[in-house]
Chain A
């Protein structure tokens, strides 16, 4: 094995045998993917729980097509006890209790869940109106047809996968570089390597190669799990995310070097990296879209490297943009990488005192 290969193997072994590193690079971000993809993924409203008290002619005599629509909206449970039914609504076990009072349909509901309350009222009114029209025997004067328009906004999994992947890559690259710089300085391993006939370039290249390899594995796992379990669909130029991810990895290794160079212990370096990356994940749109954020925050996010990584990943992975969409993010990330590396080199001190 040549020096580059054996250094890379040594570093990779060190990473794979460190359970904490593997957890934070792979398992931890995946937990978020499962959380966001699984829990927030199904945003379609569930049916309204309706408790029917006694006989309600409106429901019981509903004609076929209307009944189908009705059952799409309501989950009906029958009861003879009005008090118990209202209690069910009060403590949230049901959404609405309906009784018939001398030809009048009375619905008891709460405002706790305003969306459900609105759906309940609107739907019930529609069914009452429909029954009234039907009772006249004539055709309705107006009919309403609704058509769904495809919107540009992304479903949950389409949005969270690129963002969480960007965050995961940023985190493991920054933590890895920060811990390596401090750990190797303290154990004098950097000194020892200086005294071995290997160039700095070989040492740095080995460390970078391992980190990029880890980033690509992260991407494969994220995209694979997203597609297999949560219905993620990649768009045409998804492959353009690979070079973007590589530059993003370099950029966040530079963030890690900066964190390592400005601190004195491994713990301090990792904490500093966390301090830089975690707020960036929130403000750079890794966890939720910034479309609804105030203007100043949207403007501020553009000075964060993670914003550019996220945008580029979203563009090519799920928004269907062409490969050119990653060019600007790549240039910005490379710029951050260069500046932060230079800063780190200026701030790095061999001695702790």
Chain B
């Protein structure tokens, strides 16, 4: 049996999808027009599945800074910071992030995925224990594996289960890293961070919060859930990404512990990766400034989220429990979700299709991510389109109940 035999089930699954004229996992955006519009399959399409929460990807200041850096510093760095040295802009961005969070240091990574790999693998190694929320992102799972610590999971957002598992660890709890996310990417629910902090303190553990989906979204200054819940001084480290609210690519880690900066010398995903491009660094730095200076963007994002959540609820969709920029409609079956996703696309609406095993509790989801850049009219159009594809769902439910 060849190594490639294992791909057969995937090939079959792809062929089955293509036979129905649907391939949601190989979508091509032919032309991107704005943070919320693109041309897909030749049709103008409203994007409501891009995690572009503040709509900064086309902000003129970000584009200008990026273009200037491109002309000034070139297209890439062609190597790692350890081997090739850092550009001064890398340090500038790290100081800006540290200043934003009010901590002494920040460490920048080339992607958000690598930020989790880099921070988690550096913090917890052989002899240490990790206790991660069961619904964590794949980058958290992979980062835990890379470090070589013993990895345990607790039930999603279940502080009692977390407490129980820390108790079982006995003295080892003091060398345990707890990992949670500010906002979970699939259903948009938040970690019960205040309670988690209490449990962390009770057992003397260390806490990392991944604020990928909450940076720029939560907190008075947009710093995320730790700020919103008033527990920043008790969160040991924060990991974040540039590829959502900040509209570029990359990631970072910060900490209240001064030793954290030394991960530059131990974190393989930091050491052995080409450093972020100057143009990316430049736009990210400007985007961070915009987050600081423009709380109205966050306010607009929440107003838009309210409008979409209320509209979809009114039609009859079952949504994730919390109002927020991630709005996930739960669909009874994978087949229905596929058909509805395709129906929405044909009406010019792009959402994320999420099906098992990538989803919590085996749910099939049509996942929307709202942007501050969506206009009320766009949101109305999205709601109308969801209403149009809802009829078959209603008929199906009626047929089940008779």
B and A form one assembly: no
